[in-house]
Structures are given as structure tokens and as C-alpha cells.
Structure 1
Amino acid sequence: MKTTVDLQQLVSVIGDAVVVSDAEGSITLWNPAAERMFGFTEQEALGQSLDLIIPQRLQQRHWDGYRKTMETGQTRYGNDVLKVPAVHKDGRALSIAFTVALLRSAEGALTGIVAVIRDETSRFQEDRNLRKRLAELEARAGA
């Protein structure tokens, strides 16, 4: 028996943030997990630039890559998990990990990008603390 999947329901119940942006980088889909992760409601996010969640110091680099992807129809990040900083609505820094995929029309024209995003902030902080502690122990052992 074949089961059909309600994709709209899937996107709304999945635990990872799903964010879709159009060819110009405006947000066209923002699921409930994105709301929880970044603090912006769907109404606040839809139609906004991805700059909403990109730290200002990284925006130029992001847009250079985004435009290149839209021009060439290729991304070098197709199967890679990207780990980058992001920004919450309240201004605090987040560490996120995500994958991206290109979206195309039925005719094959590039229409946007989907990102599936996971908040790695606490894990990143734990790793940082462990590396710091290890460095302290190694320094003590070598002294």
C-alpha cells in the first residue's frame, strides 16, 4: 500500500527549521521550527531578506555566493553540512548547521533555495569548553 505524504504538514511538524528563499533572497517559506529557532514569526519573516538571520559581518560574503549560485545554477554546498553563525531576533548569536538545495520550476529555471537548519549552539559551546579544558590540562601536564 502506497502512502502519500502531505508535504505542507511535513514541513510544519518537522523539528528542523525549513527556510525557502526566492531568487532574490527573500524568504518565501518559514516553518514553525524556524520561528522557534530564530524568534521571528512567519508573518515577520515572509518577504524579508535573509539578512534577518545573517550576522552583518557575513552578509556581503553570503550575498556574493548567493548571486553566483543564482547566475550559474550551481552550488558547491549541495551535499555538505554547513556550519555558520546566525542571529536570533533578540540579537544573540546562534551556531547553526544546515544543508541547502536548489529549487527549480517545472521548466528547469532556478527559482530559489531551501535550507534545512539545525541549532547547534549548545553543542558548539560544549565543544569549545572541552577544547579549552583539554588545552588547560595539556598545558599543566607539559609544565
Structure 2
Amino acid sequence: MAIDFDELVHAIGDAVVVSDAAGAITLWNAAAERMFGFSTQEALGRSLDIIIPERLRKRHWDGYHETMQTGVTRYGTELLRVPATHKDGRAMSIAFTVALLKSGGTAPDAIVAVIRDETQRWNEERALRKRLSELETHGA
């Protein structure tokens, strides 16, 4: 049985986002629509800035452009956890891995990120840390 990779990408529960060498979004699956609130039509061709908090953009782009120049990323097998922004402006916490896509040359042509929304888990952990701190400060 041959696998239809386009169908797989759009059926998977995690967001799959592909961006070209300049950082323009070239693939935005249904899970990305649900997660970030932008339709595929709204996202395609736009900069990844639509989901990157403004305060983190310089750091993101410095790393992105270095990765595109060197063809090396440390995040291929390492889970990266960072803040993100939803279309409605609310803050999110996401975790993702990336892979470099090359069409034959040594330099990557695109980057694919497989992303999971961890906002609820992050908020629960923050509440637990706050409660633990309160208990340590005031006694049980």
C-alpha cells in the first residue's frame, strides 16, 4: 500500500508547518489551523512572525538564518519549548521538533516543524509551582 503523504500531513493531530528559506509559510495543515487560529489561506505565503511573539522574533530569525546558511540545527531530535501567539493575540506555549528539507543540494530549502500545543500543561505546572512556593513560604 502506498502512503499518501499529503493526506498523512493533513490528518495528523500535531501541527505541521513548513517554511521556505526566507521564512515564508509554504505548508500549514489542519492541526495548525486549529492550534493557531489562522486558516491555511491566511497563513500560506506569510512570515512565521504570525505565530512568533514580537519580543522573540530577532532571536528566532538569527537562529533561522544561521540554520539555513549552515544546514545544521540542534533541534532535529531535541524538543524545543517556546512561547507562541494565537491569531486572537493570546499567549501560547508550544513544543516542537524541526527537520531540514533539502532538494538535493547541501543547503536546506525549507524547514518543517511538527508542533504540539502545551499551553494547558504549562499553565498547570505554573499553578503547581506557585502552590508549592506558597506552601513552603507559609507552611502546610
Structure of larger gyration radius: 1
**Cα shift at 1:108:** 4.2
Tell me how far apart the structure 1 counterparts of residues 115 and 38 of structure 2 sit (CA, whole Å): 15
Residue 116 of structure 2 corresponds to 118
Tell me how far apart the structure 2 counterparts of residues 4 and 141 of structure 1 sit (CA, whole Å): 61
Q: Which ranges in structure 1 are unaligned for 5 or more consecutive residues?
A: none
Identity, % of aligned pairs?
A: 68
Q: Normalising to structure 2: TM-score of the pair?
A: 0.96
Alignment of 1:91-110 (within 5 A): 91-110=89-108
Superposed CA offset, 1:55-106 (max 9, x none): 0000000000001001111012121100000000000001000000100003
Residue 39 of structure 2 corresponds to 41
Q: Normalising to structure 1: TM-score of the pair?
A: 0.94
Tell me how far apart the structure 1 counterparts of residues 28 and 39 of structure 2 sit (CA, whole Å): 8
- Pick the aligned partner of 2:54 from 49, 53, 56: 56
Q: Which ranges in structure 2 are unaligned for 5 or more consecutive residues?
A: none
More displaced stretch, 46-55 vs 103-112 = 103-112
Residue 74 of structure 2 corresponds to 76
Aligned length: 140
After TM superposition, what 4+ stretches of structure 1 lie above 4 angstroms from structure 2?
none
SS at match of 2:109: strand
